[in-house]
Amino acid sequence: MNNIGGIFGIIALICILYLALRPILQVILEQFSQKGKTVPDLLEKLFQFLTKTHRYVGFIAVVAVFLHFALQYQQYGVIPLAGLIAGLFLVLQSFLGFGLTKQKDEERLKKMAILHRILGFLIIVSVLTHRIVGI
């Protein structure tokens, strides 16, 4: 395969889309709860699985992005701006995510959680921009 860096980009993209499922599913579960309906077992188990694997998939995404960056730069000698921004957002997101697990102050935890969600959205936007526009 002559573009191994692209494979790591695809792995990172799959991981990021996987990570985006968690907040989407969380909103769906909250809708069930607000309407007083019972959450289907399959959705509950899927959410639990996503929650358990969230940090590991995030770590894989960061490693894949670093490899993608290094190999693509080695082959093409160019750093697309949207890709660089997406990668930086992902690294910041991982530090923020691990910081959430260590946070004791409830108010600060809430603010960090909101920032974590906003960054997640910005990662999706920047990755899609990188993939679609190619910048």
pLDDT of 5 higher than 90: no
The separation between CA 20 and the C-alpha centre of its own chain, rounded to angstroms, equals: 6
b/e for 84-117, b at 16 or more Cβ within 10 A?
Answer: ebbbebbeebbeebeeeeeeeeeeeeeebeeebe
Residues 43-98 pLDDT 10s: 999 999 999 999 999 999 999 999 999 999 999 999 899 999 999 999 999 999 98
pTM value is 0.88
Q: How far apart are CA 114 and CA 85, in angstroms?
A: 20
Q: What is the mean pLDDT of the chain?
A: 93
pLDDT of 2 higher than 80: no
Question: How confident is the model at residue 85, as a pLDDT?
Answer: 95
Question: Are the C-beta atoms of 54 and 19 separated by less than 8 Å?
Answer: yes
What integer is the mean pLDDT of 113-121?
94
Q: How far apart are CA 37 and CA 34, in angstroms?
A: 8
Model confidence at 28, pLDDT cuts 50, 70, 90, reads very high
